[in-house]
Amino acid sequence: MFKKIDYDKIKTVFFFSSWIVLVLLLVLFFRIMQNYKVSSYSFKIKDADVVFSDGVELKNNDALRYLNIKKGESIFSIDPRLKIKDVFKKHPEILKMSLYKQMPDKIAANVTNRTSVAQVHLGRYYPLDSEGFVLPFPSNFRIKSLPLIRGIKPGEVAVASDSDNVKIDAALELLDLIKVILTEMEISFDIDVSNIENINLMFTNDIKIKFGKDGFQDKLMRLKLVLADIKAKSLNPAIIDLRFDKAVLIPR
């Protein structure tokens, strides 16, 4: 007697076998495509462009060198997030950055660098930005056009990092207000934070302004009036003390 053929079982085996073959073919196809993308000359990086927020632009080899990318790398081997982290390590002066691929063979980036607003003396002069980040570009000489924040010792801050220092925070707060309130007076000055309870402004004409520790906005408004008055009267005091309700002028 002949054994009855189970056609339903055959159909089931054939169905699953077909799916397995299809999946294997798809895996093979995607692997071939991946290898093609990686090895194809069409997807090899040939160009790069880095645009900075101040209008400066790096192109081709200069841009590739800045981004630490080799010409001829597969564009698919570049992970924008990892590459941004890599560039930040090499260029700590960057504040923010975006990077993207322009298929099939170009990398483009937009970069905003930190802007120096003051300097500190840590054996040498270092610029720092509005967030208190100490930029790793030391100078043996005082940096022109930047006010000096005095009273910061080398061990109190780290280079190429945010300062997280109460003295620098107070100096930057005062600096921001000076830019708003005294912007028309074109004064040159340093900020002395040696004593955080008694912050002083040091004008380059050797006038010391005593601020104390708080209420900077109100004191700067009073200072603006005092400076206009002493200019009109051709006075040249040694000290202007703003720690009290009324400004005190101490002669030389």
* Same domain membership, residue 226 and residue 162: yes
Count up the domains in the chain and report the number: 2
pLDDT band at 54 (very low <50, low <70, confident <90, very high): very high
CATH number where 101 lies? 3.10.20.310
Task: Give me the percent of the chain exceeding a pLDDT of 90.
Answer: 73
pLDDT band at 187 (very low <50, low <70, confident <90, very high): confident
Residue 149 corresponds to which tokens in the numbers above?
């924040």
Q: Alpha-carbon distance 76 to 207, whole Å?
A: 61
Tens of pLDDT along 78-101?
Answer: 999 999 999 999 999 999 999 999
Q: What's the mean pLDDT when you consider all of the chain?
A: 90
pLDDT band at 7 (very low <50, low <70, confident <90, very high): low
Is the confidence at residue 13, as pLDDT, over 90? Answer: no
Is this structure's pTM higher than 0.85? Answer: no
Residue 59 corresponds to which tokens in the numbers above?
């192109």
Q: Around 144, how many Cα atoms within 13 Å sit in the side-chain half-sphere?
A: 0
Q: Around 167, how many Cα atoms within 13 Å sit in the side-chain half-sphere?
A: 18
Contact 250, 243 (CB under 8 A): no
pLDDT band at 62 (very low <50, low <70, confident <90, very high): very high
pLDDT band at 33 (very low <50, low <70, confident <90, very high): low
The residue segments making up the domain with residue 92 are 42-113
The answer to whether position 29 is within a domain reads no
* Same domain membership, residue 165 and residue 220: yes
